[in-house]
Amino acid sequence: MVVKDFGFKGSFFDKNETLEREVREKVLFKNFSQRIKNIVDVSKGWNNILSGIDLSKINSREDLIQLPITKKSSFPLLQKNAFPFGNLNTKPYNQFPFMFASPGPIYEPGNKNDFWNMSRSLYAAGLREKDIAYNTFSYHLGPAGIMMQQACNNIGCTVIPGGIGNTELQLETIKNLRPSFYLGTPSFLKILLEKSKEKKIDISSLKKGLVGAEPFPPPLREKLAEEGVDVVQMYGIAEIGCIAYETKDSRNNLTEGMLIEEDVILEIVRPGTSKSLPPGEVGEIVVTKINSDYPMIRLGTGDLSKTIIDPSPCGRTNFRIHGWMGRADQSTKFKGIFVTPDQINKITDSFKEISKVKFVINTKELLDNGELFCETNIHDVELQNKVKEFFKSNFKLNINVSLVKKGDILNDGLVIQDKRVLN
């Protein structure tokens, strides 16, 4: 293990963050083929996916191309055929301490300790032992709330599980308990800050934070900084946990891109192929994470990015990605929830009065705004409200619904149109 002194001791969570890159590759791929063989021996799902492949020849990053990419979008069908985790787990599902449900539906297991490897991202964001963190990520069915809670506890912090909703009660809680660190979506932090001014409730104890689950455009980042909260963002998914996160240098300047989490093998792959792309080319993020309970082998996230190979000014030595640059398909994340064309098309399946739909996402006053356009010959408030309630019930999202006449929706093949500026 090689550790360098970058002149700001205490800024790293552990020594792994400053390993020489060659050493890190050796660590990531140590006994790699044997570890995959062990997974295949106990997991029917991975046995099926990797059948017919000589796993003894998978010993390096270059060898990964021999393995198929498993799309996250395939999980609902995989899980339907082999309930609840598509047989991708390596121990019985009822031996996990947590089970979660995401729209799709997609079911995920959770384990104890820092199962999702969030600690390094929190530490890079400035969270330290004995800090009090205010966690507004949801604890309802999805894993985000517990993801962050476990990592905070791992660092040695106290967590206030705020979750979502009850804004005024949350403001009073922040005022009284004085947490210094915010966890949640950037849009909800903006709402809390604006509401606190309106209600004259002091939440100035919040100084730092880690945000995620939605795009974080520069104007919103600047707005939060003006309000005195210094936040950085992370990128992750339920099946993997943390994939990459922002860092700062010794002068507290934000570094370019997002640093790849130490326990993740990340590739940028040309969409529709298994071929890895060279640094600088935009492609799909494909991740591998080998753990003993719920391994992921070349999981295609559907998200787009590109690799940055230059060393980070923060002193950490891993590669970086540019950040989230959109989706390889029309799927997107809206207010922390993945929304897919298949989900949107359920509207036409459920409402015979509606012949065509398009979900348009843009930014209004620095906040994500979603509107569902429905072509129909019926234009009444009752139908409009039914669609809104259907959307809320199935996708846990509040949106605007507009009923338009047939032919008003542009025939461009888009079911989801994301008009947000991502960077």
Catalogue all structural domains in the chain, each as residue range(s) with its CATH number. Answer: 1-93+262-327 (3.40.50.12780), 111-238 (3.40.50.12780), 334-418 (3.30.300.30)
Report the C-alpha gap between 267 and 367 in whole angstroms: 31
Residue 343: predicted pLDDT: 83
Beta strands in 172-295 (DSSP E): 181-184, 208-211, 230-237, 241-245, 258-260, 265-269, 283-289
Q: Which of 242, 247, 249, 265 is nearest to 257 (CA)?
A: 247
**Whole-model pTM over 0.85:** no
Burial class (CB in 10 A: 0-12, 13-18, 19+), 341: middle
Residues of the chain with pLDDT under 50: 1-9
Q: What local confidence, expressed as pLDDT, does residue 9 receive? A: 46
C-beta of residue 351 within 8 angstroms of C-beta of residue 359? no
Main-chain phi, psi angles of 59, to 5 degrees? -130, 0
Say what the pLDDT of residue 390 is: 92
**Cβ neighbourhood burial of 390 (10 Å; 0-12, 13-18, 19+):** middle
User: Sheet holding 354-364: strands in order across?
Assistant: 400-404, 367-376, 354-364, 416-418
Q: What is the pLDDT of residue 379?
A: 87
In terms of C-beta density within 10 A (0-12 exposed, 13-18 middle, 19 or more buried), how is residue 86 classed? buried
Q: What's the confidence (pLDDT) of residue 387?
A: 95
State how far the Cα of 201 lies from the Cα of 203, in Å rounded to an integer: 6
Is the CB of residue 246 less than 8 Å from the CB of residue 269? no
Maximum pairwise Cα distance, the chain: 69
Report the C-alpha gap between 327 and 291 in whole angstroms: 26
